[in-house]
Chains A and B, each alone.
Chain A
Amino acid sequence: GNSVTQMEGPVTLSEEAFLTINCTYTATGYPSLFWYVQYPGEGLQLLLKATKADDKGSNKGFEATYRKETTSFHLEKGSVQVSDSAVYFCALSDGLGMRFGAGTRLTVKP
């Protein structure tokens, strides 16, 4: 069945470092792809999304490009801040439901 695999954490970076969190997917058809972020004590919030191949989702300095040829949707940010510390979830929606990755915990130190 359809699934998402994302980079295991935790990831610890210094402020202003470059961030990449890898995400690959297995799916039949053309799913929509998402990144959600969960701050401590809160629910998941949509960070960005892409609905078709070569689409780039972006928000708050984060970007991810839907790559069909590599079945990937890696999350990147050029310069992380302490406030970006959270758990990040990659997900796909195939019309039947949403499937989430295991989550990657990011800690950014000043």
Chain B
Amino acid sequence: DAGVIQSPRHEVTEMGQEVTLRCKPISGHNSLFWYRQTMMRGLELLIYFNNNVPIDDSGMPEDRFSAKMPNASFSTLKIQPSEPRDSAVYFCASRIIGTATDTQYFGPGTRLTVL
């Protein structure tokens, strides 16, 4: 079975450019999460969706970050304009709402480097 799919796996861009990260959740999952991982701050939840609706975006660092989920099988995280401090690994995870364990399944991540 396909797990969570993220693209690209690596992204190198220059400061000021727009960056779009993509995620395809596991088929049948109805909740999706975006995380950022850095050495300094560890794993941070940025935003999550239930049934394609954003539920909690309090972790989004600032207005330069935006996330969308136009349908159940696709989500994007956009950074515009990007800054060097945005360099991190960005993970997407999905789950099925309402199951007893609420287990989240993670994608392989996108390593973003902003020069």
Contacts and interface: CB of A to CB of B under 8 A. Distances in A.
Interface of A: 32, 34, 36, 42-46, 49, 51, 89, 93, 95-98, 100, 102-103
28 contacts: A32-B102, A34-B103, A42-B109, A43-B91, A43-B106, A43-B108, A43-B109, A44-B43, A44-B91, A44-B93, A44-B106, A46-B103, A49-B101, A51-B100, A51-B101, A89-B43, A93-B101, A93-B102, A93-B104, A96-B56, A97-B45, A97-B48, A97-B56, A98-B33, A98-B102, A100-B43, A102-B42, A103-B42
Given A43-B91, A43-B107, A43-B108, A95 B43 contact: no
B34 to A, nearest CB: 12
Given A97-B48, A97-B56, A46 B105 contact: yes
A82 B101 CA distance: 30
Contacts of A34: 103
Contacts of B93: 44
Interface string B29-56: 0000100000000110100100000001
Interface size grouping (class) on chain B: 10 to 19
B3 to A, nearest CB: 9
Interface string B71-111: 00000000000000000000101000000111111111100
B9 to A, nearest CB: 9
B43 to A, nearest CB: 5
Which residue of B43, B48, B56, B103 has the most chain A CB atoms within 10 A of its CB atom?
A: B43
Interface of B: 4, 33, 42-43, 45, 48, 56, 91, 93, 100-109
A45 B104 CA distance: 9
A34 B85 CA distance: 30
B56 A42 contact: no
A102 B4 CA distance: 23
A42 B42 CA distance: 15
Contacts of A43: 4, 91, 106-109
A41 B64 CA distance: 26
B110 to A, nearest CB: 10
